[in-house]
Structure 1
Amino acid sequence: MAVIDQFQPLDRERDLKLHPTHVIGHYGVFKRDGRVFLQIDTLGSADRAKPNSQSQTFQLTSESAKALWEILGREFNLSA
């Protein structure tokens, strides 16, 4: 599990490829010490040794959520 504080672009020369596994993202919002966090969990695919067990977790702060919002808007041509 990790709290994402900021985003940085990957080196464009790096080979990016689509992963074959598709999962559902489960999310929750909680407050700690007056701050709001968004947590996203994914469960392992049916092909894993422990299917449907928690696989990945990451948390966004309000600042990193805003940064991600801006990235998504720019890269997917979205508007509010």
Structure 2
Amino acid sequence: MALIEDFEESQADGPPRSRTRVTCGYRTVEIDGIRAVQLSTYGSSERKIPGKTSQTIEIDRAHAAELIDILKSAFPGMS
């Protein structure tokens, strides 16, 4: 599991890869006094173990605010 420490815009290197549609679970956690939202994706039906947690990231308050700004920039008109 990873606590996001920084965001940086990355440059595309080739065409977009194909996407697998998955479910993302979320919950609020507090670890070592840091409150965060934890996002976990679960393996798709094509995976060896469907539904198994695939990856988990955590976003604290400061980085959540930064992510909101990134999303608003990516999706103009979003309130």
Question: For the superposition of Structure 1 and Structure 2, which TM-score range results when normalised by the shorter chain?
Answer: 0.7 to 0.9
Flag structure 1 segments of 5+ consecutive residues without an equivalent.
none
Which TM-score applies when normalising by structure 1?
A: 0.86
- Inter-partner Cα distance in structure 2 for 1:72 and 1:16: 22
Verify: 1:24 aligned to 2:23, yes or no: yes
Secondary structure of the structure 1 residue equivalent to 2:26: strand
- Inter-partner Cα distance in structure 2 for 1:63 and 1:19: 31
Share of identical aligned residues, percent?
A: 31
Give me the CA root mean square deviation.
Answer: 1.5
Task: Please tell me the residue identity of whatever aligns with 1:7.
Answer: F
TM-aligned CA deviation for residue 29 of structure 1: 0.5
- Inter-partner Cα distance in structure 2 for 1:41 and 1:60: 12
Which TM-score applies when normalising by structure 2?
A: 0.87
TM-aligned CA deviation for residue 20 of structure 1: 2.5
Secondary structure of the structure 2 residue equivalent to 1:29: strand
Verify: 1:75 aligned to 2:69, yes or no: no
Task: Please tell me the residue identity of whatever aligns with 2:19.
Answer: P
- Inter-partner Cα distance in structure 1 for 2:46 and 2:10: 29
Corresponding residue pairs, total: 78
